[in-house]
Amino acid sequence: MRLDELHAWISVDGVELPEFAVEYSADGKEASCWIPSECDKQFAVEFKNTRSSSWQTNAEITVDGIQCGSNNTYCRDHRHPQITSGSRNSVAISAHSRRPLLFAQQALTDDDNLLNAAISPELGSIKVQMRKVISVPSRRRQPVWPGDSFESKVLHERSKKAMGHSVQFGAAYPAINSQADPIEVIAELATFVFKYRPIELLRAQGIAPPEIRPAAAPIEVVDLTVDDDDASEIKQLEARLPVLKKKGVKVKSKSSGVKQEKSFVFAPGEIIDLT
């Protein structure tokens, strides 16, 4: 999705996911859409600013109502210095480890104690808030890691929010995480909201177009009707058939070295050259 010079999207395996039913707010500062989620697929939240400026752009990422940190945008291609970009595909849980973001099957339970449990209204969505910021190095402090806060929520099986998938955090892997300079938000620029569901559900609700199936191979139709010309030809062939049969040659053979007797049948008036 795009709002002026700002662009945000969700990618899986390096490919941008399709966006359905894109909507924009009246003030032009928020965009929302639907995207297809695929179970057990890791994804990345990506964002870009295509206009150079004297100030820094930062994107804060929230999944299912859980804040996953923020990233500043940087110029990654010096041939296009006016374009800055960033991405986030994981969350830091300590100074030396991270957990990847992925779509997964929503965990359900029949425990009635969770039937009326509070559920974030942002469950089922990924939010990207683009902001104008400045770094404030003087505010540097010791990093605080979230630890076990990135745990998937279990829903009651009768919950209205049990829509098939949720964002979960994969197994931790080693990574060196440094604490970035603290930032001060100068202005909120734009908000992008990606509402995700299984593609089958999006199609069933008419949000995504139906699946395009390959066309069946054409069936060859053979015309077996007989016209007047065919009927006339059949009669001529049937009339000639007895004559052709009388012209047949019968040959009787005995074992090798024994005289062979041959008999021939000729049509009346037929002349055979025996020279």
pLDDT tens track of the chain, all 275 residues? Answer: 999 999 999 999 999 999 999 999 999 999 999 999 999 999 999 999 988 777 789 999 999 888 888 888 888 777 888 888 999 999 988 888 999 999 988 777 676 766 677 677 888 899 999 999 988 877 666 666 665 567 777 766 666 666 678 888 888 899 888 777 788 899 999 999 999 999 999 999 999 999 887 777 777 766 666 666 777 777 887 887 787 777 764 544 444 444 444 444 445 555 444 44
91 within 8 A of 99, measured Cβ to Cβ:
yes
CA neighbor of 20 nearest in space, from 205, 190, 163: 205
Sign of CA dihedral 150, 156, 161, 163: positive
Q: How far apart are CA 201 and CA 166, in angstroms?
A: 14
91 residue type, one letter: V
Q: Is residue 19 part of a domain?
A: yes
pTM comes to 0.72
Closest by CA position to 197, among listed 207, 187, 188, 209: 207
**Residue 191 included in any domain:** yes
Indicate the number of domains in the chain. Answer: 1
Residue 80 belongs to a domain? yes
Continuous segment of H or E residues that includes residue 217: none
Let me know if residue 211 belongs to a domain: no
Angstrom distance (rounded) from CA 272 to CA 275: 9
> Residue 54 region, left (φ>0) first, then alpha (ψ -120 to 50), else beta?
alpha
Taking phi first (over 0 means left), then psi (-120 to 50 degrees means alpha), and beta for anything else, what does residue 18 get?
A: beta
* Terminal alpha carbon distance of the chain: 97
CB atoms under 10 Å from CB of 269, counted, come to 5
Q: Is residue 97 part of a domain?
A: yes
Tell me if 187 is assigned to some domain.
Answer: yes
The reply to whether 112 falls in a domain is yes
Q: Give domain status of residue 261, yes or no.
A: no
Structural domain that includes position 107: 2-204
Whether 37 contacts 196, CB under 8 Å: yes
Q: Does the CA dihedral 115-117-120-123 come out positive or negative?
A: negative
